[in-house]
Amino acid sequence: MKKNIVNILDLCKSSKDRVIKPSNHAAVQILSQLNEIGDFIDNNIKYDKEKYQIKISRGAGFFPRNPWIAILRNGCNVSESLSVCLCFSKNGNGCVLGTMYFAKSHNKNFKTVERKKTNNDFIDISGSNLKTMHNNHKYINPMEIPYSDIDEKKIKAYYKKSIELLEQLDLLRSKR
């Protein structure tokens, strides 16, 4: 999985934050790498496959500047539900992993963390439109993964921790 993350970040960096079509070579390569990460998750990280699914970013018309891969409830979209999401920075300097609540509505069961730029090493996952421009503040338990510190064991452990949190929050929300 580390190789896939590095490849995606390198491709994001080389795209220089420009708009690319899904048929572009970089977009095709990123999708391939995201699919390999999905296979790794399926084979190495325990989650309830009856209840949850893996989705990857594809874009609508244009490929997303911030590619992502998410574990979320079957039949849901990332834009409307809780998920465990690995989101890549458009400049290739890292990614963020954790339980994410993308929807704009507030929830009394949890609070998202406001990630702020404190230095030039900040891993910016904000998108370029109204729906995605606040992505930096959508995580409940964000773990920043700088390009220089991609540790597969830590990532795998954090996936497990974030999936447990996702399941707990889903249970809380279903009791309302």
Residue boundaries of the structural domains of the chain: 2-174
Contacts of 91 by beta carbon, 8 Å cutoff, 6+ apart: 12, 13, 17, 124
Rounded-to-integer distance, Cα 50 and Cα 131, Å: 29
| Residue-level pLDDT at 172 | 80
Q: Give, as one character, the DSSP assignment of residue 78.
A: G
Instruction: Summarize the confidence of residues 62-86 as an average pLDDT.
Output: 88
Host H or E run for residue 38: helix 25-44
Instruction: Summarize the confidence of residues 56-66 as an average pLDDT.
Output: 79
- Pick 2-174's CATH classification: 3.30.920, 1.10.10, 3.40.50, 3.40.1130: 3.30.920
Structure token pair of residue 52: 């949850």
| Residue-level pLDDT at 106 | 59
With contact defined as beta carbons under 8 Å apart, do 96 and 145 qualify? yes
With contact defined as beta carbons under 8 Å apart, do 162 and 98 qualify? yes
Q: What is the pLDDT of residues 120-175, one digit of tens each?
A: 778 887 766 555 656 677 888 999 999 999 999 999 999 999 999 999 988 887 77
Q: Which of 118, 110, 128 is nearest to 165 (CA)?
A: 110
Does the pLDDT value for residue 110 go beyond 80? no
Q: Which of 120, 93, 99 is nearest to 6 (CA)?
A: 93
**Cα radius of gyration rounded to whole Å, the chain:** 15
| Residue-level pLDDT at 108 | 66
Host H or E run for residue 163: helix 152-174
Pairing, β 52-56 against β 143-146: unpaired
When the pLDDT of each residue in the chain is averaged and rounded to a whole number, the result is: 85
Host H or E run for residue 95: strand 94-101
